[in-house]
C-alpha cells in the first residue's frame, strides 16, 4: 500500500513538469502572430519579417507580422497588451513602447510593466548625429563650437519632439551648452531628406535609418550614441568620448502579454537566441544598424529595469513635461 501511495504522489508531482515539457516540445501548433508598432517597409518591419521567416521554417508553423503603426507606438502596444495570453501573440517592441512612453505621456491605455512580460532582447540600435556635408564640422567638439559661434543657426531634424531622436537632440544641446533649433518631423525620412537637401544642417536618427545615406556620402556622421564604436562606423567617435558616460541607444525586443504560458516564452526565447547567433542572420542585423543581443527572459527583464532608471533620470535632466 505504502509503495503505491508513494508512486501516486511521485506521479502527481511529476505530471505538471511532464505537461510543461510536452507543451514546450509541441508548441507552436498553429500560427504565431508578431504585433509590430511600425509600418510596412520600416527597418523594424524588415527585421521582424526576416526573423519570422526563419522561425516559420524552423517551427513548421506560420509566423506572421501584423503592423499596427501610429500614436508613438501606442496603437501596436495596446493591441498586443489586449491580445489573448495563449502563447500565440507576441509583441515586437522598441524602446518607446515599453520604456520612454511612461515618461512622456501623462497616461497610457496600457501599462508597459504590468501588461507585458519579457521574452528576449533582439538587438541594440545606436543613434547617429549626422550633418549635411557642407557643414564646417567633422567632430562633435567642432560642431558645438560652430553652434556657439553661430547662435540659433544649427538646426537639427528629428522624427518628433518626444521620440528617441528628439529627446537625444535636446540632450545634446543641454550637455553641449548650446542653443539648438530643434526641427521635429512626423516620421524619420522627411527629416533625413531635408538634411540631405540642406534645409536642415543636421539630423539625429537611428543608425538603421541612416545606414544607406551614410554609405553613399549623402550625410557625414559626427558621433554615435553607443557605449563603444559601432561595426561599420568604426571611424565615428562615440558621444561618450567627448562627454564621458553619455550613452543613449534604442533597442528591439520581444515581449508577451502577461499570463502567456512560460513554456511558450522559454521556447521562443531559446530559439530566437540561437537564431540571432547564426552568422548570416547576425550579419543582416548589423547591415541594418542593429547589434544582435539575444539572451534569456530574466536578462531582458533586468535590462528593462535599468532602462527605466536611466530614462527617468534623463527626462528630468532635460525638463520633459509629460503630455
Q: What is the pLDDT of residues 224-268, one digit of tens each?
A: 999 899 888 999 999 999 999 888 888 999 999 999 999 999 999
pLDDT in tens, 146-204: 999 999 899 999 988 888 899 999 999 999 999 999 999 988 899 999 999 999 999 99
Residues ≥6 apart with Cβ < 8 Å to 292: 122, 123, 276, 277, 281, 282, 285, 286
Full-model pTM: 0.83
Can you identify the CATH homologous superfamily of domain 30-125+249-317? Answer: Bordetella uptake gene, domain 1 (3.40.190.150)
Strands 249-257 and 89-94: antiparallel
The pLDDT of residue 316 is above 70: yes
Rounded to the nearest integer, the mean pLDDT of the chain is: 91
What's the pLDDT tens digit per position in 25-51?
689 999 999 999 998 988 889 999 999
Residue extents of the structural domains in the chain:
30-125+249-317, 126-242
Equal fold, 30-125+249-317 vs 126-242: yes
Higher-confidence residue of 290 and 88: namely 88
CATH superfamily of 126-242: Periplasmic binding protein-like II (3.40.190.10)
Amino acid at each position: 500500500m505504502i509503495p503505491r501511495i508513494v508512486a501516486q504522489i511521485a506521479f502527481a508531482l511529476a505530471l505538471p513538469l511532464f505537461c510543461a515539457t510536452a507543451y514546450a516540445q509541441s508548441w507552436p501548433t498553429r500560427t504565431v502572430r508578431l504585433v509590430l508598432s511600425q509600418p510596412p517597409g520600416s527597418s523594424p518591419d524588415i527585421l521582424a519579417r526576416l526573423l519570422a521567416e526563419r522561425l516559420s521554417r524552423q517551427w513548421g508553423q506560420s509566423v506572421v507580422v501584423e503592423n499596427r503603426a501610429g500614436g508613438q507606438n501606442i496603437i501596436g502596444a495596446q493591441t498586443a497588451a489586449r491580445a489573448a495570453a495563449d502563447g500565440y501573440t507576441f509583441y515586437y517592441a522598441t524602446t518607446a513602447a515599453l520604456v520612454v512612453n511612461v515618461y512622456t505621456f501623462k497616461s497610457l491605455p496600457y501599462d508597459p510593466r504590468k501588461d507585458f512580460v519579457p521574452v528576449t532582447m533582439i538587438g541594440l540600435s545606436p543613434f547617429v548625429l549626422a550633418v549635411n556635408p557642407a557643414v564646417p564640422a567633422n567632430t562633435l567638439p567642432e560642431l558645438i563650437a560652430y553652434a556657439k559661434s553661430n547662435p540659433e543657426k544649427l538646426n537639427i531634424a528629428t522624427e518628433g519632439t518626444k521620440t528617441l531622436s528628439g529627446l537625444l537632440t535636446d540632450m545634446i544641446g543641454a550637455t553641449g551648452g548650446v542653443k539648438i533649433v530643434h526641427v521635429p518631423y512626423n516620421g524619420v525620412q522627411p527629416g533625413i531628406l531635408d538634411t540631405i537637401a540642406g534645409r536642415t544642417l543636421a539630423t539625429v536618427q537611428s543608425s538603421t535609418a541612416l545606414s544607406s545615406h551614410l554609405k553613399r556620402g549623402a550625410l557625414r556622421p559626427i558621433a554615435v550614441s553607443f557605449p563603444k564604436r559601432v561595426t561599420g562606423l568604426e571611424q565615428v567617435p562615440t558621444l561618450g568620448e567627448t562627454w564621458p558616460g553619455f550613452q543613449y541607444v534604442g533597442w528591439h525586443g520581444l515581449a508577451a502579454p502577461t499570463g502567456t504560458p512560460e513554456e511558450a516564452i522559454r521556447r521562443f526565447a531559446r530559439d530566437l537566441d540561437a537564431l540571432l547567433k547564426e552568422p548570416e542572420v547576425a550579419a543582416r542585423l548589423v547591415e541594418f544598424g542593429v547589434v544582435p543581443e539575444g539572451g534569456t527572459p530574466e536578462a531582458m527583464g533586468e535590462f528593462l529595469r535599468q532602462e527605466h532608471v536611466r530614462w527617468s533620470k534623463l527626462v528630468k535632466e532635460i525638463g520633459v513635461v509629460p503630455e
